[in-house]
């Protein structure tokens, strides 16, 4: 009875969704691995680059390292956010493909600067950065 009273004075029973948090909607109880955001770094060396299917995974970080000024085209097939970084002294300009609207500054002015493309509607993107 003394042990029972001691145990009853401890933490309340754990109940998913009540006093156990979730991560990105995933329950953290149980075995196995809960994978959090793991960015995929993709380096662009082409002066004219259109975002590819592989860049549309919501985890891509696009690194632009070109020998001259580069243009990155945002196609209508892009549906997830993407971050693009200028890593050298050459300018980088974002360009909208046909039917796509980009809201914000399109040119990178500073070495090491980043811009994120955030979808806000069908074929509409805000540019942050």
Half-sphere exposure of 108 (CA within 13 A, CB side): 28
Start-to-end C-alpha separation, the chain: 63
Mean pLDDT on 80-91: 92
More confident residue, 18 or 42: 42
Region 67-73: mean pLDDT is: 94
* Percent of the chain surpassing pLDDT 90: 56
Q: Does residue 94 surpass a pLDDT of 80?
A: yes
Say what the pLDDT of residue 1 is.
67
């Amino acid at each position: 009875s003394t042990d029972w009273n001691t145990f009853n004075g401890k933490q309340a029973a754990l109940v998913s969704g009540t006093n156990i948090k979730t991560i990105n909607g995933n329950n953290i109880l149980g075995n196995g691995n809960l994978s959090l955001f793991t960015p995929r770094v993709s380096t662009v060396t082409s002066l004219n680059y259109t975002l590819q299917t592989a860049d549309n995974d919501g985890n891509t970080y696009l690194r632009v390292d070109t020998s001259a000024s580069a243009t990155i085209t945002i196609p209508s097939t892009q549906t997830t956010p993407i971050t693009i970084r200028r890593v050298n002294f050459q300018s980088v300009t974002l360009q909208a493909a046909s039917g796509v609207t980009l809201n914000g500054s399109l040119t990178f002015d500073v070495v090491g600067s980043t811009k994120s493309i955030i979808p806000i509607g069908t074929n509409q993107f805000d540019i942050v950065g």
